Structure 1
Amino acid sequence: MDTTAHKTVLTGLKADHFRHPLDLNATTTLRQLPGLDVVVRTALGPVAEQVFYLDNISSSVLVSDRQLPHLHESLLEACKILDLDAPQLYIRQHPVPNAYTFAMRGKQPFIVIHTALIDLLNPAEIQAVIGHELGHLKCDHSVYLTLANLLTLAASQLPFAELLVPTFQTQIMEWVRCAEFTCDRAALLVVQDAKTIASLLMKLSGGSPSLSDQLNVEAFLDQARAYDVAVASETGEVIKQIRTQDLTHPLPVLRAREIDRWFNSPEYQTLLNRDVSQYNPRVSSKGGWRNW
């Protein structure tokens, strides 16, 4: 059954049609590091890919038209909207709500969603998670995501690594946070409802299966606006920088506020209401949020 009838299907969609300016700037900075892309793709990536593939196929459930078909249908719809080939989708038993993706160019990409996240969300929010992870694939984020994961592992397990990689790791983690803003936009393009994204982020912040139906999205967005006011001072800005510099994701209230702004922007409305093959996005260093 085709469930995209009530949604805009973005045939011809390109990554730069929705890439967040922060992601664009951070990616440009990383691409200036000589040989980084080649090292990850040729040396680190293939090994990591084989390890993750064997781990998934042996310890998770592969979604298909015969296995959890409602999730498979949700995946196919999201891929149709984003004009993207479908990756593999795995469901993994895990008590921590999380989802992640992995792919190297030309290889079989996959998405993993933890059961705890499935239990926390409604079907539209689960599709938003799928859309977010598809955003990483659409934007070819895989190289730097792989490097970020390996650096995090090295810093936690290898002797003296904390003395060798902190500056580089900081740069990579900043890029990861920027990339998340882009992928939230991909999620919005899939579900085409900003409140669904805000609800997802709210549940990740303070939700549980027993509380989910009692949470208020508008109150959470008001909370996000209150955070804007709280960090408007010079002291607040410093505290925000310290609070976020080691995180792998932007703060949930920032993500909710940002996606709400983009949903109401001319750029988003234009993207959904015209032929994307003719769409020329306005990419500017002045666009989006510049401060964490």
Structure 2
Amino acid sequence: MNLMKQVLTGLKADDFRHPLDLQATTTLKQLPGLDLAIRSLLGSVAEQFFYLNNIAASVLVSEKQLPQLHKLLLEACQVLDLEPPQLYVQQNPVPNAYTFAMRGKQPFMVLHTSLIEMLTAEEIQAVIAHELGHLKCEHGVYLTMANIMVLAANLLPTWGTILAQSLQEQMLQWIRCAEFSCDRAALLATQNPQVVMSVLMKLAGGSPRLASQLNLDAFIEQAKAYDSATEDQLGELLKNAQTAQLTHPVPVIRAREIERWASSAEYQNLLVKGTKELQGGWRNW
């Protein structure tokens, strides 16, 4: 497969930031001292925790270690006009990826092996680009809180529950909105909406055994059915109750948003502004 992509030189976060992300971020910034409080209370501890976790139980991707993954990272960074962070691969049966970036520090991202196993090379790059979207949009301070909440819930269930309960509704709302911007970053890097939507489909119901049997068109129809089922007042109420405590929007909503943005003039204009083409191929993946 030989792909031709536009390199988006000079791309800014606000060129693709989702309106809901912008609104939610503005709301959080109006809370006095929140950024400073997160950095002061969590920064040094979180940095040390993640650093020790990665070097002890993950593999650092480089030109000499998993070079195909490294190539996907570098290409996505080139398209999105971003300096490459460190990328780690970690053995974990739960398909997931996450990013850590406190301002002024070395950012990094982690991919779980179970996620890699059920995705194609292009889909893995979409996941990498999604995580790069957090860096491009400077989500790091608030994203740190989200990642610690998830890890705390897994490692220390009681602490995780307390932390989740104390997290303000505005924080969870921001996290969900930020994901829409990062899905757009994935689309800009892959420049193929079907790749991004396929990742979302596999996250909803995929496995290495089932991945090749999934039907993207049927999943898109499922997303439209979800829209129809939540159009009335009761449906809207149930949808809000379902998503209120989630850190991510449900996959069908994310797929619907990508489908809409891919056909928008805003997205097409960003590609037109690309200054040069980037060639890439993954025949040997």
The one-letter amino acid of 2:195's match is: T
Name the residue aligned to 2:249.
Answer: 250
Corresponding pairs, count: 272
**CA displacement at 1:114 relative to structure 2:** 0.3
Provide, for residues 152-195 of structure 1, a one-character-per-residue CA deviation record: whole Å limited to 9, x for no partner.
Answer: 63894349947xx7464322111100000000000000000000
**CA displacement at 1:212 relative to structure 2:** 1.0
**CA displacement at 1:211 relative to structure 2:** 1.2
Q: For 1:1-292, what aligned pairs fall within 5 Å after superposition?
A: 6-151=4-149, 153=152, 156-158=157-159, 161=162, 166=165, 168-274=167-273
**CA displacement at 1:250 relative to structure 2:** 0.3
Contact 1:37 1:143 in 2 (8 A): yes
Aligned equivalents of 1:52, 1:45: Cα separation in 2: 11
Give TM-score, length-normalised by structure 1.
Answer: 0.88
Name the residue aligned to 1:279.
Answer: none
SS of 2:87's equivalent in the other structure is strand
**CA displacement at 1:208 relative to structure 2:** 1.2
Change (3 A) 1:4 1:38: farther
Aligned equivalents of 1:241, 1:247: Cα separation in 2: 10
Aligned equivalents of 2:25, 2:140: Cα separation in 1: 12
SS of 1:112's equivalent in the other structure is strand
**CA displacement at 1:269 relative to structure 2:** 0.3
The runs of 5 or more residues in structure 2 that have no matched partner are 276-285
Provide, for residues 47-66 of structure 1, a one-character-per-residue CA deviation record: whole Å limited to 9, x for no partner.
Answer: 21111011101110000000
CA RMSD of aligned residues (A): 2.0
Change (3 A) 1:7 1:206: same
SS of 1:77's equivalent in the other structure is helix
Aligned equivalents of 2:76, 2:201: Cα separation in 1: 22
SS of 2:83's equivalent in the other structure is coil
SS of 2:142's equivalent in the other structure is helix
**CA displacement at 1:275 relative to structure 2:** 5.4
Name the residue aligned to 2:281.
Answer: none
Higher relative contact order (CA 8 A, sep 6+): 2
Contact 1:92 1:113 in 2 (8 A): yes
Aligned equivalents of 1:243, 1:149: Cα separation in 2: 21
SS of 1:33's equivalent in the other structure is coil
The one-letter amino acid of 1:41's match is: R
Identify which range, 140-149 or 239-248, moves more after superposition. 140-149
Identify which range, 266-275 or 125-134, moves more after superposition. 266-275
**CA displacement at 1:43 relative to structure 2:** 3.5
Structure that is richer in strand per residue: 2
Change (3 A) 1:167 1:62: closer
Contact 1:99 1:112 in 2 (8 A): yes
The runs of 5 or more residues in structure 1 that have no matched partner are 277-292
Aligned equivalents of 2:237, 2:229: Cα separation in 1: 12
SS of 1:145's equivalent in the other structure is helix
Give TM-score, length-normalised by structure 2.
Answer: 0.90
